[in-house]
Structure 1
Amino acid sequence: MKGLWSVLLVCLVLTSIDAHASEGGDKKTFCVFDVAGAGGFVYRTLQDYHRKALMAGVAMTMKPYTDEDRAVADFRQGLCDLVAVTDMGVRRFNSFSGSISAIGAVPYYEDLRVLLHILSSPRVADHLEEDGYQVLGVAPMGAAYLFVNDRSIDHVDALKDKRITVFEGHYDARHMVEYVGAVPVDARISNFARLFNTGEADISYAPAAAYEVLEMFRGMGESGGIVRYPVGQVTVQLVARSGTFSEAFVRKSRKIMSRLYPEAMRIVRQYENAIPAERWIEISPKAMRGYQEMLREVRIDMQASPESSGMLAAGVYDDDMMTILRKVRCYTNPGAVECSADNRE
């Protein structure tokens, strides 16, 4: 009997090894952009994904990048099988998931939680494939807030004439800045914090983690702060060439990423709670509604704008995703003006 059990055990081990080899093949290279490198929040969060991918039969070697452009370039050259980039970075590969960062389109974390559940569903799988690339999942990096050098910038009208950093290729943000009468300051992920900290910009938008990680408290001085209203959501998204991974693993990967939400949000909350209370600029419900409506009007204005800047801005949004985002907002906040407005997105 012992001999029989030994044979069965060997067979099971060999079957497991064979299954691992057939799914994973050679070890894949997983390139991860995190502005803080291997010690950063994104990289550490995706280590959990890495472990769960291995349990699903896909072995990968993680490689940290502090420059998103470099990570994308290496991915395009075939040096990465899978790459983790921001939602702005993913716009080069998928307009549907790249539209998650549409300005003001996902105002609350509950909206994001519902959205990530939708993105892990097979019902939207076709939207996550575009021009030979696949999105293998989305996870939160935190809401983007306005870091300001003057606490009086606590309502929409106060944005007029202020200098605001705008990331390269973030045409929708540039349109919003110009729409409110502010002045765009060209920036990259590698230098936007420096522009704010040295006073070359009055306002910059970033997740709360930037307060500590990028030392953006320096640009606030004594009179600045962080406006407690999310102007967007920053996410990390995984991209691979179609066919690099089996369809079974692609579906599994999207589930794994959606289930990272609680742990990722725990860390996001840690960063937000670590910011001294006096650094937050609390805005009135009226001002909050003003921001919400202004951002909606900006998104609608893009669609109708005959100017090249407006057309470029509108071009980065996927219509199907914008409809989903509106439905999510109206699901979590059915009383919002937009839910009964004639000019719906």
Structure 2
Amino acid sequence: MKALSMLLLVVLGLSGWSNAGASDRREFCVFDVAGASGFVYRTLQDYHRKAALAGVDLNMRPYTDEDQAVADLRAGRCDIVAVTDMGARKFNDFSGSISAIGAIPYYEDLKVLLHILASPRVDRHLEQNGYEVLGVTPMGAAYLFVNDRAIDHVEALEGKRITVFEGHHDARHMVEYVGAVPVAAKISDFASLFNSGEADISYAPAAAYEVLEMFRGMGSKGGIVDYPVGQVTVQLIARADEFDDAFVRKSRRIMSRLYPEAMRIVRQYERSIPEERWVKISPEAVRGYQEMLRSVRIDMQQSTEDSGMLAAGVYHDDMMTILRKVRCYTNPGAMECSADNRE
């Protein structure tokens, strides 16, 4: 009888644990323009598996509309949301500053930065206004897709129509700074604006060439300028205190360690683009882009005009300093590393 009672206690205990586990399942809402077949969703399936091993059961749901994913997080229909840098800016200007124009030119810079973001040293910056960042991983460098290969240096941007994402005030400032014309766009329509000829230039990761068929907007004369104007990342956002501190730290490490697999896919997309579609630029043109992008960031920070202050307001000073230190760590000979007007 005693043995039977013990058995019942064990069974009831297990049953209770099982029900609690089911009720503790969290909703993981993933934005990917290609839905569940997209590279972001597929990459984050590895995060999903590792979160389960850490004791957090997630139900992945694909979203093709980033605004809807953000709205569902705010409404409590999502416990974690995976969004681009632009989506992350609505919650955290520190991690949102990663996509500052020209601030992370090379993948080696991004790799160093992701290690920093997984460190407890920056924890205080990753929680703002009731939300926290649970990790960052790459989506690929943003390149200029152009409809004319002659657009291979900074001066050639003048007068050209360039798509600018809604709320991307720093990119708008850059476009106006070089004398180009901003064309208002959303993640859902920027490719169609370029493909239909309503814009001469659009910026996106290499995956957009195939996934969004941006080769159509290039025609026979266009190409992709082989210089990154920024980095696009996927960032996980959750309500603060939704998860315990141990899982938050674990989550950030998991996302950081997705770098090799994410970069394997990014490189695969980049290598799949026909060689003749890349617009190779001279070392002088590269330096021209680097200095122009740095000058734009400094101009924003010093501007007294409403548009400049609005653009500068999307950047977090501490992140901009970290990004400059990372660039000078990987490329100590760069002009900015010895310039008086360092960021």
TM range (shorter): over 0.9
TM-superposed CA distance for 1:26, in Å, is 1.1
User: 1:264 aligns to what?
Assistant: 262
User: Could you tell me how far apart the structure 1 residues matched to 2:122 and 2:17 are?
Assistant: 32
1:289 counterpart SS class: helix
Q: 1:252 aligns with which of 243, 250, 253?
A: 250
- Structure 1 residue 153 and structure 2 residue 151: aligned? yes
- Structure 1 residue 326 and structure 2 residue 324: aligned? yes
**8 Å CA contact retained: 1:193, 1:214:** yes
Q: 1:173 aligns with which of 168, 171, 174?
A: 171
The amino acid of 2:181's aligned partner reads: V
Question: Could you give the per-residue CA deviations for residues 266-304 of structure 1, whole angstroms, max 9, x where no partner exists?
Answer: 000000000000000010011000000000000000011
Structure 1 runs, 4 residues or longer, greater than 4 Å off: 17-22
- Structure 1 residue 136 and structure 2 residue 137: aligned? no
User: Could you tell me how far apart the structure 1 residues matched to 2:297 and 2:19 are?
Assistant: 46
Alignment of 1:267-278 (within 5 A): 267-278=265-276
User: 1:118 aligns to what?
Assistant: 116
- Structure 1 residue 40 and structure 2 residue 38: aligned? yes
TM-superposed CA distance for 1:136, in Å, is 0.1
**8 Å CA contact retained: 1:42, 1:141:** yes
Alignment of 1:1-345 (within 5 A): 26-345=24-343
User: Could you tell me how far apart the structure 1 residues matched to 2:109 and 2:301 are?
Assistant: 23
Question: Could you give the per-residue CA deviations for residues 145-180 of structure 1, whole angstroms, max 9, x where no partner exists?
Answer: 000000000000000000000000000000000000
**8 Å CA contact retained: 1:31, 1:82:** yes
The number of residue pairs the alignment matches comes to 334
Q: Give the root-mean-square deviation of aligned CA atoms.
A: 1.8
TM-superposed CA distance for 1:306, in Å, is 1.4
TM-superposed CA distance for 1:323, in Å, is 0.1
Mind listing any 5+ residue stretches in structure 2 that lack a counterpart?
1-5
TM-superposed CA distance for 1:88, in Å, is 0.7
Question: Could you give the per-residue CA deviations for residues 21-66 of structure 1, whole angstroms, max 9, x where no partner exists?
Answer: 68x9610000000000000000000000000000000001000000
1:61 counterpart SS class: strand
The TM-score with structure 2 as length reference comes to: 0.95
Name the CA shift for 1:241/1:333 in 2 (closer, same or farther; >3 Å): same
**8 Å CA contact retained: 1:148, 1:224:** yes
TM-superposed CA distance for 1:305, in Å, is 1.0
TM-superposed CA distance for 1:92, in Å, is 0.5
The amino acid of 2:278's aligned partner reads: W
**8 Å CA contact retained: 1:164, 1:204:** yes
1:135 counterpart SS class: strand
Mind listing any 5+ residue stretches in structure 1 that lack a counterpart?
1-6
The amino acid of 1:227's aligned partner reads: V
Percent of paired sites with the same residue: 78
User: 1:3 aligns to what?
Assistant: none
